[in-house]
Amino acid sequence: MRAGALVLALAACGPAVIAPSATQPLPPHRELAVDTTPKQRPRMMPAEVYLRAYMMWFGGLAPLEVQARARGRQLFDAWDDYLAALGLPDYRIDLPRQTQSNTLMLAAFGRLGEALCVRAVEHDLHDARTPPDQRVVFAFEPIARPSEAQFDERFDVLHRGFLGYPAALAPADRAKRYYALFTQVAAHHPAKPKTPLTGEETAWAAVCAALIQHPETGLY
């Protein structure tokens, strides 16, 4: 009897039959537009734009004036040696525009960058010969043995000039890595160098050259 009563009691406690309800969409939490447009990696800046930027960074000089200023100590020879390497088309011979980089092009960018930066240091910083408001690349007041914060402030000027945005928006370690470059180059150049630049001037030239060769400078 006791067993039968237990079975009845368990049956009485079983789940009630619940009829399924119609499905309802979940209420929207927030709406996001799905961007289905094709994307690609940043593309190369047209060679003409690079050249115009280069002239601008050189202080708005004409190509032949840039060439005249950049020459010397084997930094630069003649534009004709670089134009094809930069990817310019030559319509006369149906040579198309280069839309992909190559090693020769990167080497040309490197050489042009070094020429620009060394000459810009000589023009802007060396012997404080150019008033601050007329400095074209290093538009800041240099300071001996800058702290990291002091470096960052000046690095931001270069970063904006070449990459087009504040260094504060760059990956977190970028300024730190460039500061390391600055201190290393400055430390490895003697106090009385044979070259016309001081150790720290050379360090600024190195930072400039590294920045102008940064992939983001030539891409957009």
Residues engaged in binding another protein (CB under 8 A) = 35-43, 45-49, 51-53, 55-56, 62-64, 67, 78-80, 83, 88-94, 96-97, 99, 139, 157, 160-162, 164-166, 169, 216, 219-220
For another protein, the closer CB: 165 or 187: 165
Write the CB contacts of 48 (distance below 8 Å, at least 6 apart in sequence): 88
**Which of 165/196 has CB closer to another protein?**
165
CA 34 to chain CA centroid, Å, is 28
Cβ proximity to another protein: between 162 and 182 the closer is 162
CA-closest candidate to residue 151, choices 87, 212, 204? 204
- Shortest distance, position 179 Cβ to another protein, whole Å: 21
d(CA 220, CA 87): 16
Q: How far is the CB of 111 from another protein (least distance, A)?
A: 16
Distances (CA, A) of 102 to 52, 85, 154: 21, 9, 32
For the CB of residue 156, give the shortest distance to another protein in the complex, in Å. Answer: 10
Rounded to an integer, what distance in angstroms lies between the CA atom of residue 109 and that of residue 103?
10
Q: Which CB atom, from 64 or from 143, has the smaller least distance to another protein?
A: 64
Q: Which two three-digit tokens encode residue 24?
A: 């309802």
- Beta carbon of residue 59, minimum distance to another protein (angstroms, whole number): 12
Please state, in angstroms and rounded to a whole number, the distance separating the CA atoms of residues 81 and 77: 7
